[in-house]
Structure 1
Amino acid sequence: MQVVGITSQQEVHVVSKDRKFRMNEILVIEDAALYHPKGEVVETLSYNRLIPMGYDKSMVDQQVLHTLEQIGYNIDADEINIAKVRLFEEAAHPIRTGCQVRLPQFYEVRHLLVKSTPRAGMILGEIRGTEPMGHDMDLELQNQMMMMEQGVLRGQRGVPFIFDIRTMQQYPHIGVFGGSGSGKSFGLRVMLEEVMKLRVPTVVFDPHFEMDFRHIGEETAHLCPDLQDRSVVVQIGREVGVSFSELNTRDLVELLGASGGGLSEPMVNAIQMLHKRRDTYNSFSDRVSNLVQALEEGKAGLEKQLRSDDLTPIQVQRIRDLNQLLQEYGTMPHSSVKGVHWRLQRLERAGLFQQNIDAIQRGLEQGKLVVIQGSTWILQVFATYVIGALYRKRREYKDARMNGEEGHFFPPFVIVTDEAHNFAPKAVESPAKSILKEIAQEGRKYGVFLILATQRPTLLDETITAQLNTKLVFRTVRGTDIATLKEETDLTNEEGKRLPYLRSGDTFVSSAAFGRTVFIRIRTAYTHSPHLSNPFDELTQFQQDKDDQVLEALQDLFPFFDSDFLPTLEKLNSKTGLGWDLHRLRQELEQWARDGKVKRVESPFATRFELV
């Protein structure tokens, strides 16, 4: 292998007759004057006589072809492998044309590839193009993971990509981007497994009910660290919720605004006037509900009711209470108070006010991964409250330490969410966005970090996107999203062109901690998602189970004639509780006959069905 064509301080062309180049592999250029610079293959092709001269419009130009002829290559006969190599560091002057190129030994590039140890870092996958170095790398880096290639599980071959989580103190926050089926959610699962391994307190908002880490695969069990009791799954309205009495007026305004698409100014004024310190849900709800009724009745209506002769003392007192509310808050618009009441009831029906966040705080203090599950809209509402509450606890502790006070320890933690554009959309106000923006900009000082995943980076708030110092970019098809990613990362034009064609699980990692983009394949996860099964396999299995259940119930009734359908149907429904009618039974029998599960025998007088 040797350098050909015109060179620069950033890129060179390398040629070989005997060896095909791999994308992203590392090469050493033996130019002693520049201390043997190293580079990465960013584009490659094979050139031969079957390609008409002048037809090819890629990186091969006349200067490269002329150089090849000068050093003895037969353009018309030889197959020539050419690679464009981008240097890791800009050279002091252009590289000498014609110098030799070789594959590196692992020790020569270790500092470029490995930034942490497997024990202290997050093992996310295998660095593409490093397979030739797999045999001579350090023993502690070998056999650290299993990889899935073309549906086949294999052992590790290349250098592991180990993300040093400690660098987040200097380069905070991670973004995970990719379209549907790109491996984005799978990569997020692998990251969370590594976070659990390191016992980093983490809170995960899971709108898809898939972040369950209890099921460990047999094929990776021998590599899986001890994840037992390192995660806890809670659902909003069951194990966690909002303690209403601990809400201040500002928190309540944000919660009610998140529940129904924002609040008008009169609604905000109504909440501020009606909410009292240490209100319970019942006391505040009753006050709002009674005010709605008082505004509907009006002063004249209440006085008319009070003049009635058949009222009990309790009824009289209630009317006086409504009248008192009307005197205090009668200037509020009825529609605004009613809107507040509707939003309050919606949150109550969702179970938001039936629990508190003690389980989340306890899990974080124990160094666990806390998965919060719920529908998207209730997660957005709850995230507004819980992120703010947890962030304040961490800030209060750090501020107390800065002032020389003891303070109650609350650990640093990581906030993770999928579908992040729903929590912090661009150009649209949302309750959770303000607290996420604050953490994106200032969380590093307090030890609070973000891992945000989304299919649509273009829809994510730009301020937050700019603060994501590490980005994992999976397959992305939309041109607007690719343009956004190229603006926010150091992806080259060549890498941007590859994004729509990446295989599921392949990703570019653009990290300020590495100083360059690394192309990796995500390792096989230790745990399985509850949604792992193919829905079409699930449908087939359900149909098979249903057929087996019905045929077992009919087993003692075979053979029977179509004239016996009515008593047969009664016995079948009694045994199984299906509730079929005669038409459904006939349809199913005909289908089983076509499938070969029952035998259909025609006779001059009737049709007989027998079990095969």
Structure 2
Amino acid sequence: MQVVGVTTQQEVHIVSRERKFRINEILVIEDEILDDPKGEVVETMAYNRLIPMGFDRSIVDAQVIDTLEKMGYDIEADEINIAKVRLFEEAPFPISTGSSVRLPNFAEVRHLLVQTTPEQGMLLGEIRGTESLYDTLTSDLQQQVLMMEQGEYRQQRGVPFLFDIKKMQQYPHVGIFGGSGSGKSFGLRVMLEELMKLRIPTIVFDPHFEMDFRDTVPESEKQASKVKDRSVVVQVGREVGISFSDLSTRDVTDLLGAAGHLSESMVNVIQTLHKRRDSYASFSDRINNLVQALEEGKAGLERQLRQDELTPVEVNRIQDLLKLLQQYGTLPAASVKGIHWRLNRLEQAGLFQQDIREIERGLEQGKLVVVQGSTWVLQVFTTYVIGALYRKRREFKDAQTNGEEGEFFPPFVTVTDEAHNFAPKGFDSPAKSILKEIAQEGRKYGVFLFLATQRPTLLDETITAQLNTKFVFRTVRGTDIATLREETDLTQEEGKRLPYLRSGDAFVSSAIIGRTVFIRIRAAHTQSPHISNPFDELIQATQHQDEKVLRYLKKQFPIFETDFTQVIGTLQKEFSLSWDVKRLKQELDRLASDGQIRKKETPFAVRYDMNE
């Protein structure tokens, strides 16, 4: 392997007659004056006389061809392998043409590839293009990851990719980007497994109900044991919710704003009616009563008081409404009703039936807490819970800074999929302000973000700019690719590759690493509860129902059309099937056409029976 053509301080062309180059592999250029610089293959091709090339459009130019001919290559006969290599560090002057090139051993490039140990870092996968280094790996880095390609498991063949999470103190926050089917959600699962392995407190907002880690993969039983019992799954409205009495007036305003846009008049209603330490019942009753008082009016209420035969309870109720009207009668009725509607909407979603103690307990134990719910409910709940947890962590650190002894609350990681729904670009959302605050200030307090989205263009730009590490999976949309090019150090060649990446392959652009690395995510130790193919599920469900119905029908055969009413009654009772006579006939005809039963026309009625 030799350097050919015109060289620069950043890039050179390498040629080989015998060896094909791997994309992203590392090569050492033997130039003693420059202390043997190292580079990465960013583009490669094979050239021969049977494949005409437009030299002005490929990585091969006239100078390269001229150099090859002078070095003795037969352009008309030989197959020539050519690679463009980008140096890791800019050289002070161009590399000499004709310099020899060789493969490195691992010790020479360890500092470029590995910055931590498997025990202290996140073991996320395998670095592409490092297969030639495997034999020289130190023993602590061999057989560390199990990979999956083309649906088959295989052992590690290259250098494992280790993410040094401790360096997030200087370069905080992670973004995970990729289109549908790119492996983004799979990669996020692997990252969460590694956070559990390291016992880093993590809260995950899961709108898809798929981040469950109880179902392990048989091939990874040993590794899965490291994350066993280190996660907690809760649902908003069932195990967790919002303790209304702990809310400040500002918190109530934010929550009701999440249920629907608030006008200035509505904000004024909340600030006027909410009292410190209000329970949901007291605040709700106050608003309900005020709505009723405003609807009936002072004259109407006084007229009711003059009625005969009122009970003492009714008199007290009317007098209370008059007091409310006197105290708050200047508030606009439409605004009070708007707050009343928003409050009921949150209550019906179950938000005020629990508290967040289960989440706090899980984080204090170093566990990963998965919070599940619909996207809308999670947007509202995220606003409250992240703010509450962040304040607890910040109060502890501030007390520590002031030399005071505060109540310890651990540093933690906040993770969400579909992040553009929580912090959209161009308009406000319930959780956006707290996520922006953590993106800008969280590093000081040990609170970090892992945000995943299919549409980086739709994610708030302030937050995107603060994501110092970005995992970029297959992305097809031109606008998203342009956004990622702006926010990372992806080269033009790497940008062109984005639409064609295989599922599970990703570029990692990180200030922690200092350059872009091309990796493949390892096989996960656990699997999603939604892993089964929905079409297989449909077939299995149909077969199960057919078997169940046939077991009953065998006892009733032969069945005539005149028997349908009796048969359908038993089916409805024993199997909870909501069939009518028409549906029963359709199902029997289908079973007959499938050859599972026999259908026969008789002079009096159609007969259904077992096959002979």
d(CA) in 1 for partners of 2:561, 2:296: 68
For residue 582 of structure 1, what is the aligned residue in structure 2? 581
Structure 2 gaps of 5+ residues are none
Please tell me whether residue 283 in structure 1 is matched to residue 297 in structure 2: no
For residue 532 of structure 2, what is the aligned residue in structure 1? 533
Task: Please give the per-residue CA displacement for 1:367-394, whole angstroms capped at 9, x wherever unaligned.
Answer: 1111111111111111111111111111
d(CA) in 2 for partners of 1:401, 1:524: 41
Cα distance, 1:297–1:568 mapped onto 2, change above 3 Å? closer
For residue 481 of structure 1, what is the aligned residue in structure 2? 480
CA contact (8 A) 1:201 1:366 kept: yes
CA contact (8 A) 2:387 2:434 kept: yes
Please tell me whether residue 369 in structure 1 is matched to residue 368 in structure 2: yes
Shift of 1:41: 0.7
Task: Please give the per-residue CA displacement for 1:534-574, whole angstroms capped at 9, x wherever unaligned.
Answer: 11111111111111111111122234455554544444444
Using structure 1 for the length normalisation, give the TM-score: 0.97
SS at match of 1:371: strand
Task: Report matched runs for 1:380-529 at 5 Å.
Answer: 380-529=379-528
CA contact (8 A) 1:48 1:79 kept: yes
Shift of 1:310: 2.4
d(CA) in 1 for partners of 2:287, 2:557: 66
d(CA) in 1 for partners of 2:126, 2:542: 40
For residue 162 of structure 1, what is the aligned residue in structure 2? 162
SS at match of 2:407: coil
Greater alpha carbon shift after TM alignment, 119-128 vs 74-83: 74-83
d(CA) in 2 for partners of 1:75, 1:69: 7
Q: Report the number of matched residues.
A: 611
Cα distance, 1:512–1:126 mapped onto 2, change above 3 Å? same
For residue 308 of structure 1, what is the aligned residue in structure 2? 307
For residue 190 of structure 1, what is the aligned residue in structure 2? 190
Cα distance, 1:574–1:611 mapped onto 2, change above 3 Å? farther
Letter in 2 for 1:298: G
Cα distance, 1:585–1:102 mapped onto 2, change above 3 Å? same
Using structure 2 for the length normalisation, give the TM-score: 0.97
For residue 205 of structure 2, what is the aligned residue in structure 1? 205
Letter in 1 for 2:161: F
SS at match of 1:416: strand
Cα distance, 1:135–1:69 mapped onto 2, change above 3 Å? same
d(CA) in 1 for partners of 2:513, 2:551: 63
SS at match of 2:135: helix
d(CA) in 2 for partners of 1:573, 1:350: 33
Task: Please give the per-residue CA displacement for 1:229-288, whole angstroms capped at 9, x wherever unaligned.
Answer: 21111111111111111111011100110111x210000001001011111111111111
For residue 555 of structure 1, what is the aligned residue in structure 2? 554
Task: Report matched runs for 1:47-62 at 5 Å.
Answer: 47-52=47-52, 54=54, 57-62=57-62
SS at match of 2:222: coil
d(CA) in 1 for partners of 2:265, 2:597: 70
SS at match of 2:224: coil
SS at match of 1:288: helix
d(CA) in 2 for partners of 1:175, 1:85: 28
Task: Report matched runs for 1:58-207 at 5 Å.
Answer: 58-207=58-207
Letter in 1 for 2:163: F
Shift of 1:609: 2.6
CA contact (8 A) 1:555 1:611 kept: no
d(CA) in 2 for partners of 1:55, 1:602: 77
CA contact (8 A) 2:256 2:342 kept: yes
Shift of 1:603: 6.3
SS at match of 1:221: helix
SS at match of 2:57: coil
For residue 542 of structure 1, what is the aligned residue in structure 2? 541
Task: Report matched runs for 1:20-35 at 5 Å.
Answer: 20-35=20-35
d(CA) in 2 for partners of 1:52, 1:236: 63
d(CA) in 1 for partners of 2:54, 2:507: 33
Cα distance, 1:347–1:369 mapped onto 2, change above 3 Å? same
SS at match of 2:610: strand
Letter in 1 for 2:473: F
d(CA) in 1 for partners of 2:120, 2:85: 32
Task: Please give the per-residue CA displacement for 1:21-49, whole angstroms capped at 9, x wherever unaligned.
Answer: 11111111111111111111111111111
Q: CA RMSD in A?
A: 1.5
CA contact (8 A) 1:145 1:223 kept: no
d(CA) in 1 for partners of 2:489, 2:55: 31
For residue 231 of structure 1, what is the aligned residue in structure 2? 231
Shift of 1:397: 0.6
Structure 1 gaps of 5+ residues are none
